[in-house]
């Protein structure tokens, strides 16, 4: 009985710790700057349009940027732009910052 109670306490503590560390990151914007075709977005969050071609996506945040083939971050993910990287495209229509 004592082992079961100890396991329940440890499980509850682990769940609380996971929730505490994951919840704030989900609601926060990416820290840094996302530049799309020369337009800078400070602490970006969400979906941004790509309005001309050829295009460049410069990810100076701590998050991954998804480059999408469709408008409003729909369609296939054409590329994942990791922090500190630049991507050039002639087909992307939008960028989502995670």
pLDDT at 30: 86
Q: ∠ at Cα 67 (61, 68), nearest 5°?
A: 150
Paired residues of 57 in beta bridges: 36, 87
CATH architecture, range 30-97: Sandwich (2.60)
pLDDT digits (tens, 9 = 90+) for 47-97: 999 999 999 999 999 999 999 999 999 999 999 999 999 999 999 999 999
Neighbours of 96 (CB within 10 A): 19
């Amino acid at each position: 009985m004592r082992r079961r109670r100890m396991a329940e306490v440890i499980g509850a503590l682990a769940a609380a710790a996971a929730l505490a560390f994951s919840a704030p990151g989900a609601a926060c914007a990416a820290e840094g700057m996302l530049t799309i075709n020369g337009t800078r977005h400070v602490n970006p969050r969400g979906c941004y349009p790509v309005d001309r071609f050829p295009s460049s996506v410069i990810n100076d945040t701590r998050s991954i940027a998804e480059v999408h083939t469709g408008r409003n971050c729909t369609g296939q993910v054409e590329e994942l732009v990791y922090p500190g990287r630049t991507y050039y495209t002639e087909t992307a229509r939008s960028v989502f910052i995670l």
